[in-house]
Amino acid sequence: MTASSNHNWSIRRRVLAWLAGAMGLVFLANLGSSYVATRRAADSAFDSLLLASASAIAERTTIRKDAVYSDIPYAALDMLASTAQDQVYYAVSAPDGALVTGYEQLPRVTGPAGAADDMAGPRFYDARFKGALVRMVELRAFVTGGNRSGFVTVRVAQTRGERDAVVFGLLKQNALWMLVFFLTVGIAAWLGIGYGLRPLDRLRDAIGRRSPDDVRPLRHDVPEEFSPMIEALNGMLRRLDDGMSSMRRFISDASHQLKTPLASLQAQTELALREKDDKAMRRSLKKVNRGIVRTSRLAQQLLSHARATHPAGPFRQVDLAALAREMISIVHTEAVNKTIDLGYEGAATACLDGDRTLLGEMLLNLLDNALKYCPEGSVITLSVTKTSDTLQIVVEDNGPGIPARYRSTLFDRFTRLPGTRADGCGLGLAIVWETVITHKGKVELADGADGGLRVRISLPVCGQEP
């Protein structure tokens, strides 16, 4: 199975996979600890029988005529009988270590625990004898008779068949119950996850029933873990709604504003076609050309306004000073034709994060308005200055200016100064406003130093509020 297919797993499968892994580790850990505990319990139970057998043998061990005798009772070995057909071995050693009876090679206690100690109690240990694992007990008992006395050592061993059968029987039963428990947990988790995801199914059905233009926020109850996703979806729907509303406004504005110029162009074209005289036809075609220029400018400004309202793409670093000089060079010819002194003052470089196209269109509209409304011989100055956290753009002229009572409404779309005769569609300052708002800046209109108009724009250098 590839990594990409794992990424497509359902939530139910992922949860169950993690649950199965965790339960598997718990199962193994519990099995290991249960084995150790069960083995100790079995050894404790069976060791008491092993000790009883060794004690019975020790009681029948005596010294007669300076010799050690041991009369092994049948009951001492019979109590170790088991259904597992375990083998039982024993050995009795005299105080001097000589074998009295039993198996001479039966292992002794080794290491520090096997150090001689007359007062030591029984010692239990595991060993291997005749190729099999055995459990052993070593018991030292004091005997006396005649002129001799001392400690005899009794060792009894039993193979682990019965013990292991008990251990693995209990272990098997424990593992079976654990598997039943884990299976029950898995089924409960499967059903619980399905029940918990039902609200998402209802949400899917509700979204599927919506029409393409239905961008209302989602108002469905979902598990708490999915609330951030619903909030993100609602945020996307709000942005879609804003975009669609902007698109509808753009289409409405474009159809309204372009209808009259296009009708005028059609009438002028039809008139030109009916003209017989070449000079009259040229005059008509010049009117058609001026109409086309105005209509083209209107369409361009409509698009610029729509783009300023909803810019596309992330901001990038823009040298506003260089951009200002570039915009001046674009309109320089028009300024020369009207004998207007157009110049730049300010910083050589002034960088900020922004949309270069929108900022260029903003500067171009400010310069275009100044050139359009200022009479011949006027002075227009574009300056860019910078502080620690803002850039200041100022366009100042000594033209007729704008009365203070009209300034608050001139940033609205399709709003023009009453009584003006210059060509325009009332979108230039609206584009300036939207561009400034998009860049989190401020714009203000004021009287110029020589009685004209001063437009001041403050823009944050790195997206901070000015």
The pLDDT tens digits of the residues spanning 337-374 come to 899 999 999 889 999 998 888 898 889 889 988 888 88
Q: Which amino acid is at 221?
A: D
Could you tell me if 150 and 29 are in contact, meaning their C-beta atoms sit under 8 angstroms apart?
A: no
Spans of all domains in the chain: 25-167, 211-310, 315-460
Per the structure block, which two tokens stand in for 108? 């002794």
- Which of 128 and 307 is assigned the larger pLDDT? 128
- Residue 401, beta-bridge partner list: none
Task: Place 149 in a pLDDT band, splitting at 50, 70 and 90.
Answer: confident
Query: Which amino acid is present at 200?
Result: L
How many whole angstroms separate alpha carbon 78 and alpha carbon 101?
A: 18
pLDDT > 50? residue 465: no
Out of 63-67, 158-162, 332-336, 461-465, least confident range: 461-465
pLDDT digits (tens, 9 = 90+) for 440-459: 899 999 988 888 899 999 99
pLDDT tens per residue, range 87-140: 889 899 988 888 888 888 999 887 554 444 444 589 999 999 999 999 999 999
pLDDT tens by residue, 168-186: 999 999 999 999 998 998 8
385 versus 233: the higher-pLDDT residue is 385
* Banded model confidence at residue 268, pLDDT cuts 50, 70, 90: confident
pLDDT for 127 equals 92
Instruction: Please determine, for residue 81, whether its predicted confidence score (pLDDT) is greater than 50.
Output: yes
Using alpha carbons, select from 371, 437, 372, 70 the residue that is nearest to residue 382. 371
Mean pLDDT of 297-318: 71
- Cα–chain-centroid distance for residue 363? 42
What does DSSP say about strands 379-386 and 341-346: parallel, antiparallel, or unpaired?
parallel
Q: What is the CA radius of gyration of the chain?
A: 51
Nearest C-alpha neighbor of 128 from the set 159, 163, 155? 159
CA distances from 72 to 48, 106, 235, 323 (A): 19, 17, 92, 115
Name the token pair of 139: 């018991």
Q: How many Å apart are CA 180 and CA 188, to the nearest integer?
A: 12
pLDDT, residue 115, reads 45
pLDDT at position 269 is 81
pLDDT of residue 418: 64
End-to-end CA distance of the chain: 55
Mean pLDDT of the chain: 82
Can you tell me the mean pLDDT for 403-425?
Answer: 71
How many CA atoms, within 13 angstroms, populate the side-chain half-sphere of residue 66?
1
The per-residue pLDDT for range 383-409, each reduced to its tens digit, is 999 888 889 999 999 988 888 887 878
pLDDT for residue 15:
83
Residue 216's nearest CA partner among 230, 200, 201, 226 is 230
Measured distance CA(122)–CA(129) in Å, rounded: 20
> What pLDDT is recorded for position 111?
58
Interatomic CA distance for residues 417 and 13, integer angstroms = 68
- Please give the class, per CATH, of domain 315-460: alpha beta
One-character DSSP codes across 155-180: EEEEESHHHHHHHHHHHHHHHHHHHH
